[in-house]
């Protein structure tokens, strides 16, 4: 047995023991009242947990779980009030500090929503349907991500000591409390079948859904909207299959004034708020052209669909960057938060260039969102898969350093990954996954994708090391399955972040890949690196990792649920 195989065997055994321990303890926790000390030992922060749960009492894990989530909500509300006060009296604050505080304002507001929804779900019952448990675990995972993003943003600014002293400690303690809430939820409400899923092969067959003609989504266009689309380039959209996605209203964006709006932002503002399930998508058709706009899809815009005329035809572009004073979070050309968002046939660009370092083309924090036949173009930090559940199909993604990053549960399927030529002295890292907690249901999965050098890298005379990823956070999780890797991939496969940070807690894995860069004989021998078998790989498919069969069908986005 070689060293890599030995590490893989040890880690699989360790994973089995951890999961067996979690499952058996979950059963004992739920059967009778338990002391806080016993419960807290099952969380990542036992001493902190014991300081917040009432002592000298015994109750069920459900009682303590509800209490912890409620305390998370109260703590978040207090933090948001503190941030709002700083923004209300902002005299003397630097512009970067104000931007970081505004990021926190948005993220903490989302956390209040997520915690409130979680309380509504767990308050009435000790038993949840598997889909309800998955939804709540997703929200509690995103709460931790949002808190960490706020913390990271403030730490990277030149904030005054008074702001850092008053915010960083409560933010850090808030993250620990959220982690305790997530752990108690995991042990109490998450189904035993979910906990055992990582060790049990699920043999299910799902059909592939195909796109309509010309690569567009199949759409059902209401008769009243067809006259709008029959003008000019809107005619192309009508050539698609009319069976499929339900659309409630269609508007056209065209800068020449022939559509309903001349800007994308005006069309987004016109979309109804909090559309109910079953009402259909508000479809924004963006005709070919270059749109120099910073577009944001806010949290109250549900079921919004945006379709362009194709990659390099409909282009949304900007050039914000960290070097020019923006936070990474707010450097995005296109940002989406509203759940159930779908985009197709659009190019998203950040043209700041490699010299401007972090410069995001798209930041996605929209639950149950999907992009199909889109292109994402940038250098460092191109695509920020920030949080919640996301799916990308038949997309092209260009970048250099950490150009696919974040802490969503995300699957890339049939996508083309194009590392570009970085600045002199830099290496390429395709991913920097940001999972901070062992109980978060997040990670990056590449399935049936292709990795090849972009034209500038392919034609360069120098040597650029290109890695599959590196661990941005302690429990970083990324897998590549049944994908093609060209010779540009370094034989080690993966790179470290700083010394031995996260090398034993990360989960990096490969399964059944092809191409000259896929050979695993000289891969890293970290404890957290694995060459998976089919049973383990099945956990990271669309059907299992995203539960995509529950939500992708109504989008009309094509997908394959299982391994090929």
Instruction: Look at residue 14 and tell me whether its pLDDT is greater than 70.
Output: no
Task: Enumerate residues 6+ apart whose C-beta is below 8 A from 234.
Answer: 228, 252, 259, 285, 287
- What's the predicted TM-score (pTM) here? 0.90
Tokens read off for 208: 């592939």
DSSP string, 204-241: ---PPP---GGGPPPEE--HHHHHHHTSGGGGGGGGS-
Least confident of 11-20, 300-309, 339-348: 11-20
Instruction: Look at residue 57 and tell me whether its pLDDT is greater than 90.
Output: no
The answer to whether 376 and 363 have CB atoms below 8 angstroms apart is no
- Chain Cα centroid distance, residue 82: 27
Exposed, middle or buried by CB within 10 Å (0-12, 13-18, 19+), for 495?
middle
Give CA–CA dist 422/139, Å, rounded. Answer: 36
Q: Is residue 181 part of a domain?
A: yes
Residue 90 has what pLDDT? 84
Q: pLDDT by residue (tens digit) across 388-398?
A: 999 999 999 99
Helix (H) or strand (E) holding 479: strand 477-481
Structurally, how many domains does the chain consist of?
2
Give CA–CA dist 138/158, Å, rounded. Answer: 33
Give CA–CA dist 289/270, Å, rounded. Answer: 21
Reported in sequence order, the residue ranges of 502-562 that DSSP labels E, i.e. its strands, are 507-511, 529-531
Q: What angle do CA 125, 130, 134 make, to 5 degrees?
A: 95
Q: Is residue 317 part of a domain?
A: no
Among the listed residues 103, 402, 437, 536, the single catalytic one is: 402
The answer to whether 149 and 386 have CB atoms below 8 angstroms apart is yes
For the chain, the straight-line distance linking the first and the last C-alpha, in angstroms and rounded, comes to 29
Give CA–CA dist 494/460, Å, rounded. Answer: 22
Name the pairing type of β-strands 304-307 and 281-286: parallel
The answer to whether 250 and 271 have CB atoms below 8 angstroms apart is no
Residue 160 has what pLDDT? 67
Is 256 annotated in the active site? no
The neighbour count for residue 169, using CB atoms within 10 Å, is 10
Q: Is residue 252 part of a domain?
A: no
Q: Is residue 392 part of a domain?
A: no
Q: At what angle do helices 61-88 and 161-188 cross, to 10 degrees?
A: 160
Residue 216 has what pLDDT? 46
The answer to whether 408 and 364 have CB atoms below 8 angstroms apart is yes
The domain boundary residue, chosen from 141, 172, 194: 194
Give CA–CA dist 111/141, Å, rounded. Answer: 10
Q: pLDDT by residue (tens digit) across 178-237?
A: 999 999 999 999 876 565 554 332 222 222 333 333 444 555 445 445 455 544 433 334
- Is the Cα torsion angle 514, 518, 520, 524 positive or negative in sign? negative
Half-sphere exposure of 558 (CA within 13 A, CB side): 19
Residue 159 has what pLDDT? 63
The enclosing domain of 109 has a CATH number of 1.20.140.40
The answer to whether 370 and 557 have CB atoms below 8 angstroms apart is yes
Q: Is residue 369 part of a domain?
A: no
Give CA–CA dist 23/32, Å, rounded. Answer: 15
Mean pLDDT over 150-179 rounds to: 88
Confidence of residue 364 (pLDDT cuts 50, 70, 90): very high
Instruction: Look at residue 50 and tell me whether its pLDDT is greater than 70.
Output: yes
Q: Is residue 360 part of a domain?
A: no
Q: pLDDT by residue (tens digit) across 430-444?
A: 999 999 999 999 999
- Chain Cα centroid distance, residue 539: 17
The enclosing domain of 404 has a CATH number of 2.160.20.10
Q: Is residue 555 part of a domain?
A: no
3-state secondary structure of 293: coil
Q: Is residue 348 part of a domain?
A: no
Residue 236 has what pLDDT? 38
Residue-range definition of the domain harbouring residue 49: 36-194
Instruction: Look at residue 17 and tell me whether its pLDDT is greater than 80.
Output: no
| Percentage helix, strand, coil for the chain under 3-state DSSP, each rounded to 5 | 40, 20, 40
The domain boundary residue, chosen from 127, 162, 194: 194
The answer to whether 433 and 412 have CB atoms below 8 angstroms apart is no
Tokens read off for 376: 């994402």
């Amino acid at each position: 047995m070689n060293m890599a195989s030995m590490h893989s065997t040890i880690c699989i055994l360790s994973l089995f023991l951890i999961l067996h321990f979690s499952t058996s303890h979950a059963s004992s926790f739920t059967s009778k009242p338990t002391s806080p000390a016993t419960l807290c030992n099952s969380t990542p922060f036992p001493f902190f947990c014991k300081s917040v749960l009432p002592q000298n009492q015994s109750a069920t894990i459900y009682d303590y779980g509800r209490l912890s989530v409620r305390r998370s909500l109260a703590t978040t509300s207090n933090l948001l009030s503190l941030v709002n006060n700083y923004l209300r009296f902002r005299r003397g604050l630097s512009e970067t500090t104000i931007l970081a505080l505004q990021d926190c304002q948005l993220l903490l507001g989302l956390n209040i929503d997520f915690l409130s929804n979680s309380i509504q779900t767990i308050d009435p019952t000790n038993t949840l349907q598997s889909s309800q448990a998955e939804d709540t675990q997703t929200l509690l995972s995103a709460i931790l991500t949002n808190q960490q993003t706020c913390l990271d943003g403030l730490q990277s600014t030149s904030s005054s000591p008074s702001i850092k002293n008053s915010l960083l400690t409560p933010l850090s303690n808030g993250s620990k409390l959220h982690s305790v809430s997530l752990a108690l939820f995991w042990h109490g409400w998450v189904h035993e079948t979910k906990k055992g899923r990582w060790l049990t092969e699920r043999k299910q067959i799902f059909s592939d859904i195909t796109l309509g003609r010309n690569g567009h989504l199949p759409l059902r266009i209401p008769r009243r909207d067809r006259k709008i689309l029959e003008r000019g380039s809107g005619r192309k959209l009508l050539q698609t299959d009319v069976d499929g996605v339900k659309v409630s209203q269609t508007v056209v964006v065209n800068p020449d004034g022939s559509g309903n709006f001349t800007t994308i932002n005006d069309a987004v503002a016109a979309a109804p708020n909090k559309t109910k399930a079953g009402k259909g998508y508000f479809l924004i058709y963006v005709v070919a052209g270059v749109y120099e706009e910073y577009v944001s899809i806010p949290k109250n815009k549900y079921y919004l669909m945006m379709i362009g005329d194709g990659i390099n035809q409909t282009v949304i572009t900007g050039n914000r960057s960290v070097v020019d004073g923006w936070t990474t979070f707010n450097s995005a050309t296109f940002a989406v938060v509203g759940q159930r968002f779908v985009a197709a046939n659009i190019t998203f660009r950040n043209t700041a260039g490699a010299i401007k370092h972090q410069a995001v083309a798209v930041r996605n924090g929209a639950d149950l969102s999907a992009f199909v036949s889109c292109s994402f173009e940038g250098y460092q930090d191109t695509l920020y898969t920030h949080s919640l559940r996301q799916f990308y199909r038949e997309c092209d993604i260009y970048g250099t350093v950490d150009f696919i990053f974040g802490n969503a549960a995300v699957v890339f399927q049939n996508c083309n990954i194009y590392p570009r030529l970085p600045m002199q002295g830099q290496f390429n890292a395709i991913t920097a996954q940001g999972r901070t907690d062992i109980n978060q249901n997040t990670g990056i999965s590449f399935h049936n994708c292709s990795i090849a050098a972009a034209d500038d890298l392919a034609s360069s005379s120098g040597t650029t090391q290109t890695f599959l990823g590196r661990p941005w956070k302690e429990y970083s999780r990324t897998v590549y399955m049944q994908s093609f890797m060209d010779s540009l991939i370094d034989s080690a496969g993966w790179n470290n972040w700083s010394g031995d940070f996260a090398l034993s807690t990360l989960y990096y894995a490969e399964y059944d890949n092809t191409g000259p860069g896929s050979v695993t004989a000289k891969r890293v021998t970290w404890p957290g690196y694995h060459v998976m078998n089919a049973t383990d790989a099945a956990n990271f498919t669309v059907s299992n990792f995203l539960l995509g069969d529950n939500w992708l069908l109504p989008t009309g986005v094509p997908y394959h649920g299982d391994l090929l």
